[in-house]
Structure 1
Amino acid sequence: MGLLSKNYKENGGDKWVVGGTLEIKEGASFLVEGKPFTGGTLIESQEESNATTVAALRDDFNELLVKLKAAGLMK
């Protein structure tokens, strides 16, 4: 009987598959593009759009983009 693991490497190690829980312990780090990933920042909730014109919808969308960028979730 072989070992069945939920966590394994694929593509020669280019991809790591986690089928269980990934726990990052105190003192460890998780990097995304060489920078520490902290799990993101909670941002102010975006109200549902009541836009009735394309221009108003654009304004609502741009407001959301500003919030995402300010939180560091977008470049």
Structure 2
Amino acid sequence: MSNVKNYTEQGGEKTVIGGELLITAEGKLTFDGVEVKPSALQADSTAADVPALVSDFNALLAKLKAAGLMESE
């Protein structure tokens, strides 16, 4: 039995991270050629009606798309 937490299975098709994956400031994470980065902060909604809530929600979606965490179209 092995106590290795991070490993790549034989053939390289699957990598398992059971420990911490640390990406330094010089490194980057890409998915399908698009860099994935933390999203900008979205403040808690204080919407008092549905149109204001829609506006807050759309702002969140825009930030997720800008960060590469959601496809644009």
TM-score bracket, shorter-length normalisation: 0.5 to 0.7
For 1:64 and 1:28, how far apart are their aligned partners in 2? 26
| Runs of 4+, deviation exceeding 3 Å | 21-25, 27-31, 70-73
Could you list the runs of 5+ residues in structure 2 that have no partner in the other structure?
none
Deviation at residue 40 of structure 1 after TM alignment: 0.8
* Structure with bigger RCO (C-alpha 8 Å, 6+ apart): 2
Q: Does residue 55 of structure 1 match 2:58?
A: no
The CA RMSD over aligned residues, in Å, is 3.4
For 2:42 and 2:30, how far apart are their aligned partners in 1? 28
- Which of the pair has more CA radius of gyration? 1
For 1:66 and 1:57, how far apart are their aligned partners in 2? 14
- 1:40 aligned residue: 37
Equivalences, count? 69
Q: Is the Cα–Cα contact under 8 Å of residues 29 and 36 in structure 1 kept in the other structure?
A: no
Q: Is the Cα–Cα contact under 8 Å of residues 39 and 67 in structure 2 kept in the other structure?
A: yes
- 1:70 aligned residue: 66
TM-score norm. by structure 1 comes to 0.53
TM-score norm. by structure 2 comes to 0.54
Q: Is the Cα–Cα contact under 8 Å of residues 6 and 16 in structure 2 kept in the other structure?
A: yes
2:16 is paired with a residue of what secondary structure?
A: strand
Q: Percent identity?
A: 43
Could you list the runs of 5+ residues in structure 1 that have no partner in the other structure?
none
- 1:15 aligned residue: 14
